[in-house]
Amino acid sequence: MLLSPRTPFKERSLQGILARGKDVAKYTKKRARELKHDKFRDTTMGLFDRLGDRLEGKGRTILYAIAAVIVLATLAGLWSWRSARKTEEARQALGRAIEIASAPVTPSPSPGSTTLSFPNEKDRAQKAIDEFQKVADKYSGTTRENAQYFIAALMLTVDHDKGISQLEALTRSSDQEISTLAKFALAQAREADGQMDAAATLYSDLAKLNNAFVPAETANLRLASVYEKQGKKKEAADLLFTIAQASRQAKDQDGKPAPQTGAAREAIEKLQKIDPDRYAQLPLEPAAENNLAL
């Protein structure tokens, strides 16, 4: 989430403070040349120095404390505003790169078309990689790691081995979202390469993690697909049945049937195809139960 920028104190607000002390003389040009400090600090601290003199030393400590609070609050506001602006800038940069990665592949675009498109997937991937690399070079932290993840995933199209290597490195990221997504992308790449044992291990690890980035049912759905390709029909059916059963029995906070996820719907459809007998053992859908009760 982006932080809302705090509006920094304007210089005119300080002028308002100075206006209330009209009887205080302004710094002379000679004094201004002698003090090689920040203009904001000079104005603020000079004001309180002069007010302190008028009070003949009474309350000087309090005045300095107030001055420090104003300075710190202003600096905090400026920092927050700058940080928010930087975050928004980084978000927009990532958005531009994602837009390129999502552009359609159109071997024969319409003449005069201004829609962003590419003649093939490799060209699109390379252009997106270049854009994500600019983001990774310019920004740090989560923004940089997100860009690196996209680069690694896209690199599978441009240089498959290099993409695999980059994804493996990102699975060790300290950022849980990045490490999880990288592991899932790596598992899919292993599956596509026919390395079923390696893919199964990765999917199993992800199912055990069961975090919001790759839920257990999503990982188990892919694992069932691997089992099916390996000829392990029973193992695949068991996983699909578990996903489907949990979905049909799930309740929301009000005790009502929870909405069915896409992974659960796919698991039910696959189970019906590969093992109709197990499919028949599933609990009835909530809507069907209600119809029977009527």
Given a contact cutoff of 8 angstroms between Cβ atoms, the answer to whether 100 and 131 are in contact is yes
Give the distance from CA 270 to its chain's centroid: 32
Token reading at 172: 């060790």
Q: What pLDDT digit, counting tens, does each position of 137-158 carry?
A: 998 888 899 999 999 999 999 9
The whole model's pTM is what?
0.67
Task: Provide the terminal-to-terminal Cα distance of the chain, rounded to the nearest Å.
Answer: 47
Residue-level pLDDT at 65: 56
Residue-level pLDDT at 90: 84
Bridge partner list, 251? 257
Residue-level pLDDT at 7: 35
Token reading at 223: 């694992």
Residue 24 vs residues 13, 46, 53, 65: alpha-carbon distances, Å = 17, 10, 10, 20
Residue-level pLDDT at 37: 46
Residues 87-109 as b or e (16 or more Cβ within 10 Å = b): beebeebbeebeebbeeeeeeee
Token reading at 64: 């300095």
Residue-level pLDDT at 30: 45
Token reading at 262: 């896409």
Q: What pLDDT digit, counting tens, does each position of 177-194 carry?
A: 999 999 999 999 999 999
Amino acid identity for residue 215 in this structure: P
CA gap 148, 132 in Å, rounded: 7
Residues in the chain with pLDDT values less than 70: 1-84, 287-294
Given a contact cutoff of 8 angstroms between Cβ atoms, the answer to whether 105 and 118 are in contact is yes
Residue-level pLDDT at 210: 92
Token reading at 26: 């302004």
